[in-house]
Structure 1
Amino acid sequence: MFALVDGNNFYVSCERVFRPSLQGRPVVVLSNNDGCAISRSDEAKALGVKMAQPHFEFRHLEEQAGLVALSANFTLYGDMSDRMMSLAAGLGAEQEIYSIDESFIDLSGISGDLRGRARAVRERILQWIGIPCCVGIGPTKTLAKLANHIAKVAERKPGTYPVPQAQVCDLSTLTPDEVSSLLASTEVGEVWGVGRRIGDQLREGGITTALELSRLDPATVRRRWSIVLERTVRELQGLPCIEMDDAPAPKKEIACTRSFGHPIRELPPLVEAVSEFAARAAEKLRRQGSVAAMVLVFAHTSPFRPGRRFARSLTVPLRRPTSDTAAITQAAVLGLECLFEPGYDLAKAGVMLLELSDGSILQGELDLEAEEGRERGKLNRAVDVLNDRYGKGTLRLASTGTEGDRREWTMRQQRRTPQYTTDWRQAPIARA
């Protein structure tokens, strides 16, 4: 048996924890550079704001309907996610964190009232950190995710599903007829594993609900579509095909890219940006215990703005596979200097680390170069520890610039709220 715990409108909910005045108001969290909607409150959804809709298209609602649009505060959301996941882990013996606001819990060996246990964990999360969430329980991960969808919609849109399924939906407590009724009320595109293209093909073939999908012959599905959809059908039929993954496989590529707050025409601010991106990518590389052999750097103009077009990339091989921030940054800056050409309004740049391998394979080397690498490794680990403790950017390479958020290339985030939980200087103050 599996459970899926999912925070409701997670980014918006994180903002509301520290600003109770936002409760009941339409709220939208915007993407990088305040470009488009990436999280919406139920009230904002009711106004017609769509996911990924550009901000300028619904900006008028700020005056007309009191909508509040906020810049993304990913530092806050990441910390709140860690807190929520630590509480959700109490639901079962094994946890798989699927995304920043979702985690699967393996309920194997857990006896008693699973629905009551899930409600207790949900109330604890709401009381201790202020994040509302829903829980879906089912014999497979696909059914657990579908149950979570039912729990959310039953709470948000009364009448769509039976009221008792709101907030916590446990399919294991229902009769086969009751489960079939819920599946019949669920559009096929809401099933985990059914993408837009496959969903269109299924609907063209007369398969419009999750129940109809669950009644297909798995072998036929595999021949006509894919083994992935066959696995989805078997999971809907109650046969577990997707195991828990508590240790995701290391990434084969690591990238850090950003759009600029303002177009960049000169090399110095571009060097600052690429240095920052390279340092972030190197930190991610060390966290998964890998080393990189190649560094790709790119820069381009905006495809949506008039003017001359520029889009170039360059791959720089490293002398030896490494996770050292200085070496990776040096390679990225070298590549940037080679591809840069003045006179263009550059809108975005990024760094990608390629040909990743296990960092432990270098530990047995005894030459002087390897010894120097080990010393650099100690330095990088020390920097990572200090940045984790005191905040990102506490220690950084000088080439990233010294102006902090005032750097020319930084993203527009005029609407960002404080980082309440990770910076003492921005901690909320309670006044009597």
Structure 2
Amino acid sequence: MIAIVDCNSFYVSCERLFKPHLNGKPVGVMSNNDGCVIALSNELKALGVKMGTPAHYLKEQVARGEITLFSSNYELYGDISTRVQAVLEEFSAGIDPYSIDECWVNFDGFAPGQLEDHARELRRQVKQYTGIPVSIGVAPTRTLAKVANRASKKIEGFGGVCVLYPDSPQTKGLLQRFELGDVWGVGRRLAEKLGNMGINTAWDLRNQNAKEIRRRFSVTLERTVLELQETPAIEMIGMDFARERIMTSRSFGRLTNDKGEIREAIRQHAQRSAEKLRKQGSLCRAVLVFLRTNPHRQDLAQHNPSMIIELNNPTDDSREIVAAAIQVLERLHAPNKRYMNGGVMLMDICERGTEQLSLLGTQQSDAERQRSEKLMGVMDELNQKMGRGTVRIGTPSAGAAWHLRCAHRSPRYTTRWEEIPPVRL
């Protein structure tokens, strides 16, 4: 049996954690640069606000105090997510993080009669130790666990926990109520094609011949059918698989043609990409840098350049990657263009230890490589312990155009000493 633990309205729950007066009130969280609403409380949904609603549509309601909107605070959300995962790992047989607000939990070793009680106790412990409400779905397969999780949230009688035992009549009842679009891995277009075949519910899909489904559609949908039939067919890769390319990019807070500000942004993106590269134990041989103007501003000159530079040796050293990125930027930047976005992509990635070294390498180059590894290791360790950006290359300017707009961001309570919440007696 496997469980999927889903944090309820996670971003909103993180905000309410330090502002309990917002419990039961309409609350939303906006996307980067405060563009649109990407997370909603149930109370905000009840007002008719939908995912992706532009934030400026709600300006009057915010001004009247009818709803509360926050800028994205990913540093806070990421730290709270880590705390939730720590609780799950302590009280289970193992976890496999799926996203910032979802985690697979292994329930091996628990007797069937203990599963529901243990799931409810786990839910209580997460709430007690982190303050975050979660919903838990348990089933023989991951797809059915997703069904159980959705039922635990949507059907009040489950009380946040739904366990689907093998061959349970309850499974049939839920699958008959589930539309195809609600099944994990079945998108809208695929649901339409299946609907044309008379397959309208999850129960209808379960009753199909898996091999015939594979022949007519794909091996992915075949696995979904098998999972609905209680045959495990989907294994998660996990969050630690090595990526073949690593990109860091973000829209600027406002349009800018200031070369110094754009250089700061590219430097920050290059450092962040290098950190990701080291985390997965890889090296890169090439760096791509790109800039973008605003395609919706046809009154402005458009310029969307990009360029790749090859590195002399495979590396994960932030200094070398930043230097290469800045070198490319010098060739790309046009002084009369106003840019809205820029990014860095690390390419031609190889696993550390498998890189091809130069035939002209010397003992000195080996020593330099060892010093680089030690320096980057210390840098990553300090940033992990003391907070991202504690040790970095260059100092970003306050108020630069590339900084995100986040006029309504709450404090980063758990990761910044200067923003720790005060206790008033």
Q: Same fold (TM over 0.5)?
A: yes
For the 8 Å contact 2:4–2:102, the answer to whether it is kept is yes
The match for 2:334 is 341
The match for 2:305 is 312
The reply on whether 1:145 has 2:146 as its aligned counterpart is: yes
Distance in 1 (alpha carbons) for counterparts of 2:26 and 2:271: 37
Distance in 1 (alpha carbons) for counterparts of 2:88 and 2:238: 14
Distance in 2 (alpha carbons) for counterparts of 1:280 and 1:331: 14
The match for 1:327 is 320
Within-5 A mapping of 1:19-30 = 19-30=19-30
Distance in 2 (alpha carbons) for counterparts of 1:378 and 1:149: 47
Residue 91 of structure 1 deviates from its aligned partner by 4.3
The match for 2:155 is 154
CA deviations on 1:246-303 (whole Å, 9 max, x unpaired) are 5642111111101000101121111110000000000111111111111111011122
Within-5 A mapping of 1:18-417 = 18-63=18-63, 66-111=66-111, 112-155=113-156, 163=157, 165-172=158-165, 176-246=168-238, 248-306=240-298, 307-361=300-354, 367-398=363-394, 401-404=395-398, 406-417=399-410
Larger mean CA deviation between 379-388 and 77-86 belongs to: 379-388
TM-score by length of 2: 0.95
Residue 245 of structure 1 deviates from its aligned partner by 4.3
CA deviations on 1:44-73 (whole Å, 9 max, x unpaired) are 111222222221233333246711110111
Distance in 2 (alpha carbons) for counterparts of 1:360 and 1:39: 42
Distance in 2 (alpha carbons) for counterparts of 1:210 and 1:166: 23
Residue 133 of structure 1 deviates from its aligned partner by 0.4
Distance in 2 (alpha carbons) for counterparts of 1:402 and 1:62: 32
In structure 2, relative to structure 1, the CA distance for the partners of 1:215 and 1:370 (3 Å cut) is: same
For the 8 Å contact 2:387–2:416, the answer to whether it is kept is yes
Letter in 2 for 1:121: L
Question: What's the secondary structure of 1:314's corresponding residue?
Answer: strand
Distance in 2 (alpha carbons) for counterparts of 1:49 and 1:202: 30
Letter in 2 for 1:168: V
Distance in 2 (alpha carbons) for counterparts of 1:178 and 1:383: 53
Larger mean CA deviation between 409-418 and 298-307 belongs to: 298-307
Distance in 1 (alpha carbons) for counterparts of 2:278 and 2:272: 10
For the 8 Å contact 2:142–2:227, the answer to whether it is kept is yes
Distance in 1 (alpha carbons) for counterparts of 2:374 and 2:90: 35
Letter in 1 for 2:228: L
Residue 203 of structure 1 deviates from its aligned partner by 2.5
Distance in 1 (alpha carbons) for counterparts of 2:331 and 2:240: 36
CA deviations on 1:149-182 (whole Å, 9 max, x unpaired) are 1111114xxxxxxx1x230000118x64321111
Residue 99 of structure 1 deviates from its aligned partner by 0.6
Residue 183 of structure 1 deviates from its aligned partner by 0.7
For the 8 Å contact 2:87–2:129, the answer to whether it is kept is no
User: Aligned pair count?
Assistant: 420
Distance in 2 (alpha carbons) for counterparts of 1:333 and 1:179: 57
CA deviations on 1:100-141 (whole Å, 9 max, x unpaired) are 111111212222410110000101111111100000000001
Distance in 1 (alpha carbons) for counterparts of 2:408 and 2:253: 13
Distance in 1 (alpha carbons) for counterparts of 2:86 and 2:341: 36
The reply on whether 1:5 has 2:5 as its aligned counterpart is: yes
Letter in 2 for 1:125: V
CA deviations on 1:352-386 (whole Å, 9 max, x unpaired) are 11111111335998632232122112111111111
For the 8 Å contact 2:264–2:396, the answer to whether it is kept is no
Residue 341 of structure 1 deviates from its aligned partner by 1.1
For the 8 Å contact 1:37–1:52, the answer to whether it is kept is yes
Question: What's the secondary structure of 2:308's corresponding residue?
Answer: strand
Question: What's the secondary structure of 1:97's corresponding residue?
Answer: strand
Letter in 1 for 2:14: C
For the 8 Å contact 1:286–1:323, the answer to whether it is kept is yes
Distance in 2 (alpha carbons) for counterparts of 1:255 and 1:412: 21
Residue 344 of structure 1 deviates from its aligned partner by 1.6
Q: Structure 2: 5+ residue runs without aligned partners?
A: none
For the 8 Å contact 2:301–2:337, the answer to whether it is kept is yes
Question: What's the secondary structure of 1:72's corresponding residue?
Answer: coil
Distance in 2 (alpha carbons) for counterparts of 1:65 and 1:423: 28
CA deviations on 1:384-418 (whole Å, 9 max, x unpaired) are 111112221122112xx4424x2231010111111
Letter in 1 for 2:261: P
Residue 314 of structure 1 deviates from its aligned partner by 0.7
The match for 1:17 is 17
For the 8 Å contact 1:94–1:246, the answer to whether it is kept is no
Letter in 1 for 2:408: R
Letter in 2 for 1:140: T
Q: CA RMSD in A?
A: 1.8
CA deviations on 1:223-253 (whole Å, 9 max, x unpaired) are 1110001001100010001235456421111
Q: Percent identity?
A: 40
Distance in 2 (alpha carbons) for counterparts of 1:54 and 1:359: 44
Question: What's the secondary structure of 2:353's corresponding residue?
Answer: helix
In structure 2, relative to structure 1, the CA distance for the partners of 1:387 and 1:67 (3 Å cut) is: same
Residue 93 of structure 1 deviates from its aligned partner by 1.1
Q: Structure 1: 5+ residue runs without aligned partners?
A: 156-162
In structure 2, relative to structure 1, the CA distance for the partners of 1:247 and 1:281 (3 Å cut) is: closer
